[in-house]
Structure 1
Amino acid sequence: MSTPPAPSPQPDDTQTRARRALADAVREIEHHVAAAGWDAPVRVFALVRTRTALTTEPGLADQLAPEVLAAARADDQHLTSVEQEGLPAAEDLEHLLGGLTWPPTVDGAAVTVERVVLPPGAEEDLPADPDAALAALLAHPQRQDVRLAVAVLRDGPSWCAVRTRAHDDDDAVGQGPDLVPGLVEAVRATLE
């Protein structure tokens, strides 16, 4: 009599749910920021697991929509984003993120930022002078304005969303775990 084969390992359900919750939080953040329109400043969000936050701050339940409460009851990985106001002054995004730290009660962080991008190779023709390069970039006929939303959980997963001004529609937002690897790592560093 032979022994039945061992069941194949299943993916970690907690990690799958965490990744899905993070993707949902990024979509929500990106849609929220998009509703305010373009030419917006950098925005930063703390991400907390909703069920845990409700345990430590029961009054939070009065501020959340019924569907959010139901989602939190159904999934302990559900995330709530908390926009950070009064960010410290910084000369650029790198310095802003370099100055942020989060307490252990924050499970993740997200940032939204707008950028101008050019097709590959187009940057080679930009002038060396920074002011002249900026003027050329802004006047370039192939420039694309994009909004990036990037989030990372303290315990690993990341998720990104990219919206272009030229295709400014909720159905045209690109998404994936590592679309903006440098920004993913910069946000991850705020959690260390």
Structure 2
Amino acid sequence: MTESENRAGPGRVAALAREVEEFVASGGWDQQPQLFALVPTADLLRQQPELADQLDQNSEFTPVAQDSLPEGDLAEALGRIAWPDAVHGCALAQEIIVLPPDAEQELPGLTEETDDGDVSEQDLQRLRQAAADHPRRTEARLVAAVLRDGSASCVMRLRGGVTGNDDSEAVDEIVESPDLAPNLIDALRATLQP
């Protein structure tokens, strides 16, 4: 672990997750998943000094948007990523559907398992469709960020609805916790392994 990673800690990775979420939110809703490399700002400025006016030089890390992820299985795409040593962390922003805890019993049951015990693609599609059609669903944007030192954080923006007045704007709710997406955190950490 480098000295700069050691100073980052959980508070710093939470700030990075918020920064990524705010950047993605500026583009509105209905976006594809987006991956970011978290690189030391000082290193980035040494390599590209022309960015000095565009970067917060007081920020230890800078999120750098990557090319679009391939269509299809996100877990499979993340499984093929291995970051170089210059990347000290990564973050992923993706739109998801959130259901209330009691809605699970309203979802269709699983009919098939694959040979390795996973859920079949057919069942996954049925569950996704049932969640998308559920009357109490909430659309959300989830950002998970991890650093090589193991620190992680998640930020979720729940898409708000108009409160009834014709002139009112939708109000989004922000939820922050490192425990929102443990499987995604694990998948992102795996991309940082040597």
Q: Could you say which residue in structure 2 is the equivalent of 1:104?
A: 85
Q: Which amino acid aligns with 1:39?
A: D
Partner of 1:82: 64
TM-score, normalised with respect to structure 2? 0.77
CA contact (8 A) 1:101 1:190 kept: yes
1:184 aligned residue: 185
- The residue that corresponds to 1:48 in the other structure is 39
Aligned residues: 170
The separation in 1 between residues aligned to 2:23 and 2:98, in whole angstroms, is 23
Structure 1 stretches of 4+ moved >6 Å: none
Q: In the aligned structure 2, how far is the partner of 1:154 from the partner of 1:176? A: 18
- Write the distance in 2 (CA, Å) between the matches of 1:176 and 1:66: 29
> Which has the higher Rg, Structure 1 or Structure 2?
1
Distance 1:13 1:36 in 2: 31
Q: Which residue of 1 aligns with 2:114?
A: none
TM-score of the aligned structures, taking structure 1 as reference length:
0.77
Task: Name the SS of the counterpart of 2:101 in structure 1.
Answer: coil
Which structure carries more helix by proportion? 1
3-state SS, counterpart of residue 121 of structure 1: helix
Alignment of 1:124 with 2:118, yes or no, is: no
Structure 1 vs Structure 2 CA RMSD: 2.5
Cα shift readout 1:11-70 (whole Å, capped 9, x = no counterpart): x99745443332222111100101111111010000011123333x1xx2322436712x
1-structure distance, mates of 2:17, 2:53:
18
Checking the alignment, whether the CA contact within 8 Å between 1:22 and 1:79 is kept in structure 2 is no
Give the AA of the match of 1:158: A
Q: Partners of 1:19 and 1:133 in 2: how far apart?
A: 34
- C-alpha change, 1:27 and 1:141, in structure 2 (3 Å) is same
Identity %: 37
